[in-house]
Amino acid sequence: MSDPTLTDAHPISSSKTTLLVGLVLSVVAFQLNATMLNPAVEHMQDELSATTAQIAFTTAMFFLSKAVFQVFMPRLSDMVGRRRILLISLGILTIGTVIAMVAPTVGWLYLGRAIQGACGPVFTIALLTLREATTTEKEYGTKLGVIIAINGGIAGVDVVLGGWMADHWGFRSILAFTLVATILAFVAAFRWIPESAPSRGERMDWPGVALITVVVVGLTWAVGGDPFGHRFPSVWSIGYILVAALCGVAFIAHQRRTANPLISSDQLGNRAIWAMPLTTILTLTGIMAVVNLLVPSFTQNPTAGWGMSATTTSLLFMAPYALVGWLIGPFAGRLAPRYGYKRMLQAGLLSSLAVLVALVLFGMGNAVAFGVLVFLLGITYAGVTNVMLNGLGILLSPAKATGLLPGLNGASFGIGAGLSFTILGQAITSGSAVGSTSTAGYVSALWIAIGIVAAAWAVTLLLPKPQVAKED
């Protein structure tokens, strides 16, 4: 952002406590739908007669939808109001949850999860609202860390509860629970979050939104596969790449001509506009499915893994990961203004890379080592890297369009997560098919993740440094 300090900001709510609670509940509602089903991978496979790759693709659809709506909803909230868009998003989440809960086939689950994903902008809108309501960098960094850590997992309770519910009542019970949480979040947002529209009166560039949406979907389907079973490499994937490239060129040309561009011409060459989303895409592609797909799939695999229950997996591996991230996040956010968001991001990526290498070399044959390394990944990624990715997306955004870069960066989280589940899911299925005793698929997925995270670190070298006030 152009303004490096928050000392001149005017809080938009008379009660910071109720505002924060309302924002947290909104983020929790989305996050429960994103994470509680993760320990139920095997249950969804059994109840819907699906493969690991098919279940992974339902999550990929969830994050692809999140990416598409992230492109424009935060910017739209600049114009029509944060609260209004937040309430619309929570309403969409409610509809998607009902469809997913009653889904008779994996195809219906695809639809429900895709509709749920459209609620993804609630997280970015929460961060933007928090930024506008906070008066100091230290306070902002701390609260930023709290919300982002929650977005990475509800202190591990979500995955433990999800695993327990899946073991006792199946995956549909999880969706019933998240439906109640979503309704509560809607009520809290309606009562406690005030309206704020810093760009009220401006017009949305809908043709630009359409073009960039085609780019997002085309690239995602080209690399990760489409809903119709076409995988890379294929004629279809080449076609998607060509369509995405053409729409990308058309988007840039349109932005230079239109009176209300989504990205103004003077920002098209801004390194932050493209390097920040690229960093996020690569980071999420490399790490997201490691914890949320590979860990539960491997530990519950009765032949290639350890044959644990969903509850045991959640309690021993996923909950500690989420809990330590939840604890570390606020401290990382508080330290970032002093040591630098970019520097801490690079440190988080390097340490996450080291953990992934150790996991593939030492963790696959030893449950204790596996658990310790997943726990460390909760520190390096969930507690540090994830906080810095989100923080930089807010801080580097142009002052005249505060929702622009957070929207693009938020979309990048969805793209990266979707690619992660699709790419790593296919690697697991190909090398460790159902009934196989081989861990080759899991090992291949980890090496792929390592290469992608290394590329993410390299891209951070191109990021500009945000101008924030250092506070003692």
Q: CA–CA separation, 166 vs 160, rounded Å?
A: 10
The proportion of the chain whose per-residue pLDDT surpasses 90, expressed as a percent, equals 33
Q: In this structure, which amino acid lies at residue 293?
A: L
Q: In this structure, which amino acid lies at residue 235?
A: V
Q: In this structure, which amino acid lies at residue 459?
A: V
In the prediction, which pLDDT does 5 show?
40
What are the backbone angles phi and psi of residue 332, rounded to the nearest 5°?
-60, -45
Query: Does 153 score more than 60 pLDDT?
Result: no
In the prediction, which pLDDT does 12 show?
47
In which residue are the tokens 């999880």 written? 174
Residues 68, 72, 78, CA angle at the centre, nearest 5°? 155
Out of 107-116, 285-294, 423-432, least confident range = 423-432
In the prediction, which pLDDT does 96 show?
95
Query: Does 242 score more than 90 pLDDT?
Result: yes
Query: Does 278 score more than 80 pLDDT?
Result: yes
Report the predicted TM-score, pTM, of the whole model to 2 decimal places.
Answer: 0.77
In the prediction, which pLDDT does 2 show?
40
In the prediction, which pLDDT does 108 show?
92
Q: Distances from the Cα of 390 to the Cαs of 60, 134, 225, 395, 466, in angstroms?
A: 20, 16, 27, 9, 13
Q: Which residue has the higher pLDDT, 136 or 336?
A: 336
Query: Does 16 score more than 80 pLDDT?
Result: no
Q: In this structure, which amino acid lies at residue 424?
A: L
Mean pLDDT of 147-175: 79
Q: Which residue has the higher pLDDT, 410 or 166?
A: 166
Q: CA–CA separation, 398 vs 264, rounded Å?
A: 10
Q: CA–CA separation, 225 vs 420, rounded Å?
A: 11
Q: Which residue has the higher pLDDT, 179 or 322?
A: 179
Mean pLDDT of 126-142: 79
In the prediction, which pLDDT does 152 show?
59
Query: Does 467 score more than 70 pLDDT?
Result: no
Query: Does 9 score more than 50 pLDDT?
Result: no
In the prediction, which pLDDT does 151 show?
64
Q: Which residue has the higher pLDDT, 201 or 101?
A: 101
Mean pLDDT of 307-315: 85
Mean pLDDT of 56-60: 81
Q: Where are the alpha helices (DSSP H) in 4-120?
A: 16-35, 41-48, 52-80, 82-101, 106-117
Q: CA–CA separation, 439 vs 50, rounded Å?
A: 20
Q: CA–CA separation, 222 vs 325, rounded Å?
A: 32
In the prediction, which pLDDT does 358 show?
96
Query: Does 470 score more than 90 pLDDT?
Result: no
Query: Does 87 score more than 80 pLDDT?
Result: yes
In the prediction, which pLDDT does 345 show?
96
Indicate the pLDDT class of residue 175, thresholds 50, 70 and 90: very high
Average pLDDT, the chain: 85
Mean pLDDT of 344-369: 95
End-to-end CA distance of the chain: 21
With residues binned 3-state (H G I as helix, E B as strand, rest as coil), the percentages for the chain, rounded to 5, are 75, 0, 25
**Across 34-43, 259-268, 399-408, which has the greatest mean pLDDT?**
34-43
Query: Does 100 score more than 90 pLDDT?
Result: yes
Query: Does 361 score more than 50 pLDDT?
Result: yes
In the prediction, which pLDDT does 45 show?
86
Mean pLDDT of 287-296: 90
Mean pLDDT of 20-28: 89
In the prediction, which pLDDT does 154 show?
62
In the prediction, which pLDDT does 395 show?
85
Query: Does 432 score more than 50 pLDDT?
Result: yes
Indicate the pLDDT class of residue 434, thresholds 50, 70 and 90: low
Is residue 284 within 8 Å of residue 423, measured between CB atoms?
Answer: no
Query: Does 389 score more than 80 pLDDT?
Result: yes
Query: Does 8 score more than 70 pLDDT?
Result: no
DSSP 8-state class, residue 167: H
